[in-house]
Amino acid sequence: MSSTSTISNLQDIGKQTSPQYSSGSPTCYPHESVTQETTDAQPFPAAVHHPCADTFSTSEEEKEEKTMEKNDGVLTEEEVSSCLSNLGHSATGLEHVYQFLSAPGRNLNNVSILCNYVHLQKLELPYNKIKDVSCVSHMPYLIILDASHNQLTDFFGFQPPKNLKEVNFSHNQMSVMTHLSAYSSLSKLNLDYNCFSEIGGLLHCASLTHLSLAHNKISCIRGLDNLPIKDLCLRGNQIEKIENVETLRTLQVLDLSLNRISSLSGLQNLHLLGSINLESNLISEIKEATHIHDLCLLRELNLQRNLVQEQLDYRLAVIFLLQHLTGLDQEKVTVEEKVSAVNKYDPPLEVVAAREHMSHMVYQLMQPQVIYDSTLPSLDSPYPMLVLTGPQACGKRELAHKLCREFNDFFGYGTCHTTRGPYFGEEDGSDYHFVTEEDFQNMIHMGKFLQTMQYAGHWYGLSREAIEDVAREGLACCVHMELEGVFSLKNSHFEPRYVLMIPTDKEQYGRRLRTRALYTQTQIDTAVARVDTYVLINRERPGFFDNVIPCDEPVEAYRTLRQVVKDYLGVEEQGGEDQSTTDTPTELKRDSLVDEAPPAPSTRPETVFMSCSAPDMDPSDHNCRKYYNKVQAQLTPQKTSAEMASIHRRQQLVREALMGKSPKAYTQLFKRCVLTAPSSLASQMQRDPTLSSPMMPRASHDRQHNHSENSSSDDSRASSGLSIPSSAGAFSETAGSAGCSELGLDTTAEPLDVSSLGHNLDMLKDQVESGHTPDAPRPGSELLSPGATATMARPGSNAKPILPPILSGRKTPGPSPKPQTLRHEREGEGDE
């Protein structure tokens, strides 16, 4: 017989590929399927099908097996001929040869005949009883060798074919890894299911990218230094610690399942790791995940059958710590899980604020309802507030006080509650209401707060009453608070102006904190670090703050703040002298807001919607309204397209309700109007603003405040309602049944019976058709007059309030402010 497998001599044999074996198909060894089923990726896609698995039981094969037995496990030339395949050029390119030989599951124990087949590039001999594969020494072109499931004890007991790339020696009986320095081309090595207790001899395998040593007796990871391994499998060993892997910089897939590992420490520098399997180990602490927190490419982590899985919120916690994961414990990580994890462990400021707002709302709703009627929500003229925000001790509190002193006809200081003790010189009720922790908690549960926040271990909260106290004076409320408070307020129906006071020099700010001698170093560090948070929010959310004022220099900061406020108020100083540093009330005059002079004031009493413009104006007067609208347009910030869309949507709903099309909130609203505000009374109230305006002193002001703030508009600005003045049986749309029943009103909200509106409906329809909404200032409208006279607006507005509030609304007699002089009046005087 010839010594080579060239085409010429093999033609005699006349055999090609064996029918039952398809080269290149994935490995599927029947008895491995159990142990490997949980392994994610099979790093060694081998080249053979186990013959027993499919077509190996044909009669021809049986015949072959019998022949084998006859041959006593010795591979014969005749058999070889039936196992050859893949006819192609020899490595030298001079001949045609069969390149592959595959003889799986033939009970072979002697394959020495293969020494003659020097051109083989792929040799597969799995599922035999081979103890010696030294024939491979004669195959210099061999690239792939599969001798798995045999009885080999010698580790690479042959001369190295210099191009050998893939070797599968799994399921043999090898126990010592000897030097493989000559195997520089070796890239995939499978040594699963042997008896190795140590890794070694791989030092010079400079091409080794896949190494599998699963199910051996390895107890320590070593001998892998600086290897270019991408895929390492050490499943089913006795490893207790992840060590000596930090030099495996190219590692992408690591399988350490079925070991005794209790910590993930050691993996932190493997920045290319994409998948880690640690199933069935001894990991018990969630915090272990912090070791792999910085592995940005990590997508798959398997911690199944570890104690850690029993920890409370294990999954969310791990997802939070490893936010790049797409799969955890062989389950897909969903977007919802990621969001919940972040909301649970590091909620964004909005989420905290929304939760906090929700609980205050719920607590409030659980209490007997109270209407804070001076601050009722209103679309066109929301209750005006000024919020100074910024990091602790940036000077905003002093600025707020100073502003309230100077502009004492416009602003009142909104005094928050706090559980911290007073500093030297602080007065209870002036700087804060200092209360105990218990009292504060009680107030929370009584629904007293609009917002609360914890800062430096103390509670701070702005109560609804604090704002109302200021509002009852006919003043705008000025408060100072941290960023969290701003987020909370943005959930409420209030529409304050937010002015950010920001230190631009952090070092100087830190020094200022230190010189106060009130704070610990940690508190100082926190405060300084929060400067960046403010800056970030300001940068990422344009418009979040209405103004940003550097506050490094208190005098300069106040001057700027003062100017900003004057711009809001539309006032300017007489004489042009800057009195910003004095505390005396400044004489203010109306700015030239409009070139056009307003029409002459009528004799009718002013209404709320006019009152902020100082002169008496008759809202029924067309010119007067035009003038007012123009002023309002100048003062009101430009609406965004989203705000416009929202307003249109609400107007549309109102229209539909009026037409009887949608029996929802708005129809109920109108029904309530009809029920609770007879038109005669309404029109009477409209004529007598003292009966109606929540922002003005009322004859009936000392009536019982037994109704609630319009709470639903807190939650949904789209759900608006008309405020009915208290003298008419004050009833807020969402005041709740308590308030209604107290007033003896029918609180059952029924769909609108359009006919019940009678001629009022026709009138409203006319208005709607003419493009007016029911809430537009319409002095003649009897149906709307209660709400209209109260606020001339719907609650739930997105509009920023015009500052200041109603000057004429001051309840407490105080030093009467110098009358503001309108420019046109002065001009008129000049003319005279």
Ligand X SMILES: Nc1ncnc2c1ncn2[C@@H]1O[C@H](COP(=O)(O)OP(=O)(O)OP(=O)(O)O)[C@@H](O)[C@H]1O
Q: Does 420 bind ligand X (CB under 6 A)?
A: yes
CB of 427 to ligand X, least distance (A): 13
Question: The tokens 């703040």 sit on which residue?
Answer: 561
Tell which positions 159-218 bind ligand X, by CB under 6 A. Answer: none
CB of 628 to ligand X, least distance (A): 34
The C-alpha atoms of residue 136 and residue 389 are separated, in whole angstroms, by: 80
Angle at 304 between CA 301 and CA 309, to 5 degrees: 100
- Nearest C-alpha neighbor of 774 from the set 764, 786, 785: 764
Segment interacting with ligand X (CB under 6 A) among 369-377, 433-441, 447-455, 559-567: 447-455
Q: Which is nearer to ligand X, 422 or 814 (CB)?
A: 422
Contact status, residue 366 vs residue 340, Cβ threshold 8 Å: no
Q: Which is nearer to ligand X, 158 or 434 (CB)?
A: 434
Q: Does 360 bind ligand X (CB under 6 A)?
A: no
Q: Does 778 bind ligand X (CB under 6 A)?
A: no
- Nearest C-alpha neighbor of 500 from the set 591, 594, 399, 432: 399
- Nearest C-alpha neighbor of 612 from the set 779, 371, 825, 791: 791
Residue nearest ligand X, CB atom distance: 485
392, 560, 684, 727: which one binds ligand X (CB under 6 A)? 392
CB of 646 to ligand X, least distance (A): 27
Two tokens at 66?
């019998």
Residue 760 CB partners (closer than 8 Å, separation 6+): 674, 679, 782, 783
Q: Which is nearer to ligand X, 144 or 557 (CB)?
A: 557
Tell which positions 55-84 bind ligand X, by CB under 6 A. Answer: none
Q: Which is nearer to ligand X, 119 or 357 (CB)?
A: 357
Contact status, residue 53 vs residue 30, Cβ threshold 8 Å: yes
What is the DSSP secondary-structure string of 180-243?
-TT-TT--EEE--SS---S--S-TT-TT--EEE--SS---S--S-TT---SEEE-TTS---S--
Reported as type and span, the H/E element at residue 144 is: strand 144-146
Angle at 384 between CA 825 and CA 402, to 5 degrees: 85
396, 402, 698, 778: which one binds ligand X (CB under 6 A)? 396
Interface with ligand X: number of residues (CB under 6 A): 17
Q: Does 401 bind ligand X (CB under 6 A)?
A: no
Q: Which is nearer to ligand X, 306 or 488 (CB)?
A: 488
Instruction: Please state, as a whole number, how many other Cβ atoms lie within 10 Å of the Cβ of residue 222.
Output: 12
The amino acid sitting at 542 is P
Q: Which is nearer to ligand X, 233 or 416 (CB)?
A: 416
CB of 446 to ligand X, least distance (A): 16
Q: Tell me 498's DSSP state.
A: E
Q: Which is nearer to ligand X, 345 or 423 (CB)?
A: 423
Q: Which is nearer to ligand X, 433 or 562 (CB)?
A: 433
Residue 18 CB partners (closer than 8 Å, separation 6+): 82, 83, 85, 102
Segment interacting with ligand X (CB under 6 A) among 87-95, 103-111, 275-283, 388-396: 388-396
Segment interacting with ligand X (CB under 6 A) among 176-184, 319-327, 452-460, 554-562: 452-460
What is the DSSP secondary-structure string of 14-28?
T--S-TT--TTPPPB
Q: Which is nearer to ligand X, 407 or 459 (CB)?
A: 459
Q: Does 227 bind ligand X (CB under 6 A)?
A: no
CB of 483 to ligand X, least distance (A): 8
Q: Does 617 bind ligand X (CB under 6 A)?
A: no
Write 711-714 long-range contacts (CB < 8 A, 24+). Answer: 711/361, 711/364, 711/365, 711/736, 713/377, 713/493, 713/795, 713/796, 714/357, 714/361, 714/491, 714/492, 714/493
Q: Does 534 bind ligand X (CB under 6 A)?
A: no
Q: Which is nearer to ligand X, 352 or 600 (CB)?
A: 352
Helix, strand and coil content of the chain, in percent to the nearest 5, comes to 35, 10, 55
Q: Does 419 bind ligand X (CB under 6 A)?
A: no
CB of 443 to ligand X, least distance (A): 12
Q: Does 455 bind ligand X (CB under 6 A)?
A: yes
Q: Does 372 bind ligand X (CB under 6 A)?
A: no
Residue 734: half-sphere exposure toward Cβ, Cα within 13 Å: 23
Binding mask 458-497 for ligand X (x = CB under 6 A): --xxx-----------------xxx-xx------------
46, 393, 685, 806: which one binds ligand X (CB under 6 A)? 393
Q: Which is nearer to ligand X, 484 or 714 (CB)?
A: 484
Q: Which is nearer to ligand X, 215 or 433 (CB)?
A: 433
CB of 396 to ligand X, least distance (A): 6
- Nearest C-alpha neighbor of 21 from the set 93, 122, 134, 95: 122
Q: Which residues bind ligand X (CB under 6 A)?
A: 392-393, 396-397, 416, 420, 451, 453, 455, 460-462, 480-482, 484-485
